[in-house]
Amino acid sequence: MNSTDLRSQRKNLKTALDSLGKWMTGLTALVVLGLIFEYKSPFFDFLDTCTGWNLFTCNWSTFDKSIGALMVTIGVAGELLIEFFANRREHTLQEITDVIESDLQQKLKQADVRIAEAELETEKLKKHFSWRTLGQDQIDVLINSLKSAPGNVSISYVSSDAEAKYFASQLMGIFQVSNWTFKITGGTNGGMGGPQFGIIIQTPTPALQGLTLQITSAFTKANIPFTMGNVPGWNVAYINGMQLTAPPVEIYVGPKPPLI
């Protein structure tokens, strides 16, 4: 049984108890009225012996006949009053408890929202600070998409960024397995005022449109984000690969975008 069902059951029990309490008060009131009618005669007989409500003139020998009835009636009437006020206090206390519980439930919901937001932010931070890595599914998609028509590709990366170098090396391995002629270059931006972020694939000339489309389609299928544009100017610090036999498709691997 979940918490919603339990709250509903508790509400029904509260209603039933309130109803029983009202019945108990009503029945006790009937008892008080019955006692008054039952024992009023001896009491009023005692008062009739008094002159002008002066107790010193009363016939106290008749008082013992009425004192027991009077005490019973007062006791039951007092019990009725105490029960009435106790029920009111209990009802008020229950209302306060319900308000407190409702407030706690609201705070718990708010806390759950904050926890979920914190977990989401934690995942964002983990994803941002973790290195880009190609999964096996992505590798399979890339190889299947690229090996059908190999060409020439030039990959450049920011040599001062170890993560960018690592990811560029992974891409190089993919093109190598797919039988592409490749060159990989590490260096720094030439006159660009700092590195550009993410992956940039050079806007193709007419002669390279087919190979560029093949690469962009493969990246899209493998869920690798990129933009089209101009690869930054380059001060070469490291170069490796093969002798390119034709103009290559240029791919730039920059640092991961900053966390905003």
Examine the domain organization and report whether 86 and 172 are in the same domain: no
Examine the domain organization and report whether 145 and 206 are in the same domain: yes
Query: Which among 77, 101, 129 is the end of a domain?
Result: 129
In-domain check, residue 258: no
Q: Which two tokens stand for residue 258?
A: 């900053």
21 pLDDT above the threshold of 80:
no
Examine the domain organization and report whether 213 and 124 are in the same domain: no
pLDDT band at 241 (very low <50, low <70, confident <90, very high): low
Q: Give residue 32's pLDDT.
A: 67
Examine the domain organization and report whether 49 and 117 are in the same domain: yes
Query: Which among 85, 103, 129 is the end of a domain?
Result: 129
Strand intervals (E) in the chain: 152-158, 181-189, 199-202, 227-229, 234-241, 249-253
In-domain check, residue 48: yes
Examine the domain organization and report whether 207 and 245 are in the same domain: yes
Question: Is 198:157 a contact under the CB 8 Å cutoff?
Answer: no
Examine the domain organization and report whether 123 and 178 are in the same domain: no
Q: Name 54's bridge partners.
A: 51
In-domain check, residue 243: yes
Examine the domain organization and report whether 115 and 180 are in the same domain: no
52 pLDDT above the threshold of 70:
no
In-domain check, residue 260: no
Of 64, 122, 90, 124, residue with least CA distance to 259 = 124
Examine the domain organization and report whether 144 and 92 are in the same domain: no
Examine the domain organization and report whether 75 and 175 are in the same domain: no
Examine the domain organization and report whether 181 and 125 are in the same domain: no
In-domain check, residue 259: no
Q: Give residue 226's pLDDT.
A: 94
Examine the domain organization and report whether 7 and 125 are in the same domain: yes
Examine the domain organization and report whether 101 and 210 are in the same domain: no
In-domain check, residue 109: yes
In-domain check, residue 189: yes
Please state whether beta strands 181-189 and 234-241 pair in parallel, antiparallel, or not at all (unpaired). antiparallel
At 189-238, the pLDDT tens digits run 654 556 688 999 999 999 999 999 999 999 999 999 999 998 887 666 55
Query: Which among 78, 99, 129 is the end of a domain?
Result: 129
- CA 25/CA 83 separation, integer angstroms: 7
* Residue range 153-179: mean pLDDT, rounded: 91
In-domain check, residue 59: yes
Q: Report the domain count for the chain.
A: 2
Mean pLDDT comparison of 88-102, 174-188, 191-205, highest-scoring range: 174-188
Look up the pTM and report it.
0.54
pLDDT band at 116 (very low <50, low <70, confident <90, very high): confident
The range of the structural domain enclosing residue 160 comes to 136-253
